[in-house]
Amino acid sequence: MKRFFAFSILFSAFFCLIQAQDKPANPKALELFIEAKTFELKDNYLAAISKYNDALRIEKSPGIYYALSKLYSNVTQHQKALEYVLEAVKLSPANILYKEHLSDVYIILGDYNNALKYLKEVIQKNPDDINLLYNIGRMYEALKQPSEAIKYYENITENYQYDETVLLRMADIYESYNDYANTAATVEKLLLLNPTDINLKYSAAAAYVKIPDYDNAIRIYEEILSTNPNNRDVQTEVIKLYFRQHRNSEAFEKYSKMINRDSVDFMTKMDVAIAFFQASSEDKEALSVSKSILQTLQTAYPNEWMPEYYLAYIDSKENREMSEQKFNELLARVDTSAELYVQVGFYYYEKNKFQPAVDIFKKGAQKFPSDFRLNYLTGNTYYRLSQNREALPYLEKAVEISPSDLNALSNLGLVYDDLKMNVECDRLYRQALSYHPENILLLNNYAYHLAENNERLKEALEMSKKTIDKEPNNASYLDTYGWILYKLKDYKNAAVYIEKAIKQGKNATLLDHLGDIYEADGEIVKALKQWNEALQLEPENELVKKKIEKYK
């Protein structure tokens, strides 16, 4: 009984397979066809192909062509599969099964236009086949026609069922069109299928923000917070949306809860405004939020300068001259805040307008002589203007106020070096390295200073070695190390390191140094070549000109 039952199932399956396609009329061809089908059911594809071809030589039956095409697809011979299924369709043009397989073969071969052609013929016979509707949509997407694809996806969604894959495709297309209302609606349908999916909730909220539909965005974010109340990112987004709706008191209340405070003072509110202001480089909408907060604070706190300053800074992107006038008026009116001098001066500094920047920093340093920032910024800006004498007292004052500050120490060392104040320079670098013994910038600058003055060259070489050990491709550090070797008369190795530096990027100083090394080693032709190249980069370099003239 068991064997009979198994045979019955096999026979039924076999019968269905044959019924699904046009079987041969010739008895011998049919016999071979059945043998081939038997081999096929046993996954013996090569034997099946052989028998089908035997049958085909007797009768050109569409069913045999179709069967062979399916087998060639199974063994990944897709071009042959195409040839045979085209014959099947030619002989039996009304057979939907053949056309569906033909479209599958075209898809595999990347011929989406022909695949779509036959899929549309198939769908006419099976208009309710969801898989066919979806496949047609995918073909339109592959052909870069998303507006056609969306029609088929909408048909599935509106008339048949919510399918996650289909809805995801729809959401992507709507978003690509900036159709955020439909994007949000589609993601909401996805949430019906996956109500706890946090990423879908983020997507829905983001789409609502872009519409903009802030109420629904807040609703979604609040749902997220109901299960994760300490999510700072979501809390921040909710606060941002309250500000966009001009619900400032609610926004500040939310913020106070977020930072566990019963109330929010002025500086805390300013922190919110500044945070949104700083985020505006990546989030353009954050700037409008910041401006709204600042306008509110300016009205509520008329004696505070910070809202007015940041509003002028924001407005400078549209009207720079008007904003700079506001900065000057603000400084004339409010002269009791060192921070204001720092902020206004830095506004000019970051725009490379060093003269107005140093004027403001200097006024601030004179008014607040014990303020480290104003002294450092004044000295640093004078240094950027190549006015080292003017920079000197301010950088010395900054180091006096903060003896371990790396930036102040580094800049003062460079100024001492440029002014040939060797005793002070040596003392300064020793002080700096006592605080920062492994800082490679200090080590490099001090080593180069010693080399230029032919002092303690072996000590300088040890310091310089530490820098190239840490940054072996840094051209400045390689140059220093090579230059010290030159001073030590190790010309061969000196040239090796300067050449390495030049490979990182040529400049006139490196070429001049290499020329000096070649000259010292007796290779005058090579030295002249380097100096001439240096002069091309810096035509006004009188020192290099003299070196070349010496050999004319």
Cis peptide before 212 (omega within 30 of 0): yes
Q: What is the pLDDT of residues 285-302, one digit of tens each?
A: 778 888 888 888 898 888
Q: Sorting pLDDT into bands at 50, 70 and 90, what band is 277?
A: confident
Q: Diameter of the chain by CA atoms? A: 114
Average pLDDT over residues 309-337: 85
Average pLDDT over residues 49-73: 93
The pTM assigned to this predicted structure is 0.56
pLDDT at 12 over 80: no
> pLDDT averaged over the chain?
89
pLDDT at 504 over 60: yes
Tokens 């303020």 — which residue?
371
pLDDT at 385 over 60: yes
Contact partners, residue 490, CB within 8 Å, separation at least 6: none
Query: Which whole-number Å values give the CA distances from 378 to 370, 382, 413, in the listed order?
Result: 13, 6, 16
pLDDT at 394 over 90: yes
Share of the chain above pLDDT 70, in %: 95
Question: In whole angstroms, what is the distance from residue 353 CA to residue 381 CA?
Answer: 10
pLDDT of residue 214: 92
Q: What is the pLDDT of residues 250-274, one digit of tens each?
A: 877 777 777 676 667 888 788 788 8
pLDDT at 395 over 50: yes
Average pLDDT over residues 44-60: 92
pLDDT at 2 over 70: no
pLDDT at 435 over 90: yes
pLDDT of residue 6: 37
Cβ-count burial of 207 within 10 angstroms (0-12 exposed, 13-18 middle, 19+ buried)?
A: buried
Q: What is the pLDDT of residues 155-197, one digit of tens each?
A: 999 999 999 999 999 999 999 999 999 999 999 999 999 999 9
Q: What is the DSSP string of 508-544?
A: HHHHHHHHHHHHHTT-HHHHHHHHHHHHHH-TT-HHH
